[in-house]
Amino acid sequence: MIKPKAELVNFNLLGDDRGSLISLENSRNIGFDIKRMYYIYSTKKNISRGFHAHKKLKQLLIAVSGSVDIYCEYQNKKQTYSLNSPNIGLVLEGPVWHIMQNFSENAVLVVLADDFYDENDYIREYESFYMTQIQTKE
């Protein structure tokens, strides 16, 4: 189990009169090395996803199109982050309970992760997550 973290980051815009460009590089503007990328799109109306936390996984979530809200909970903090621009990212590390909701029709949520998919890294029961919060309390 690693220390939980949920933090918004702003990316440097490399735009010019042709349009915008954002570059993300291992360890430079992302706090970890990327091993996996996945994306969530064509999400149906009123669908919420997630409802889990991770033990060790570090992830960076970016709405490269449209918008989505990410409800996060850890160590008595409960906060919803709105991802509504490709130059904003949400870093999620370790045991943060999160729910992805209010997907706009055109939403494409890209997620960069520091490890391969591993079901053993998931905490899918809220009660088990709650127990980890007691263990990782500072």
Q: Which residues lie near ligand TYD (CB under 6 A)?
A: 36, 38, 49-50, 52, 117
Closest approach of ligand TYD to the CB of residue 124, in Å: 8
Closest approach of ligand TYD to the CB of residue 44, in Å: 12
Q: What is the DSSP string of 94-111?
A: SS-EEEEE---TT-EEEE
And the tokens for 137? 């309390």
Nearer to ligand TYD, 20 or 41 (CB): 41
Catalytic residue among 6, 52, 91, 94: 52
Coil/strand/helix, residue 120:
helix
Nearer to ligand TYD, 52 or 58 (CB): 52
Nearer to ligand TYD, 17 or 68 (CB): 68
Task: Tell which residue, 121, 131, 96, 106, has the closest CA to residue 8.
Answer: 96
Phi then psi for residue 74, to 5 deg, are: -165, 145
Closest approach of ligand TYD to the CB of residue 109, in Å: 9
* 57 CB neighbour count, 10 Å cutoff: 23
* Active site annotation includes 52: yes
Q: Which residues are catalytic?
A: 52
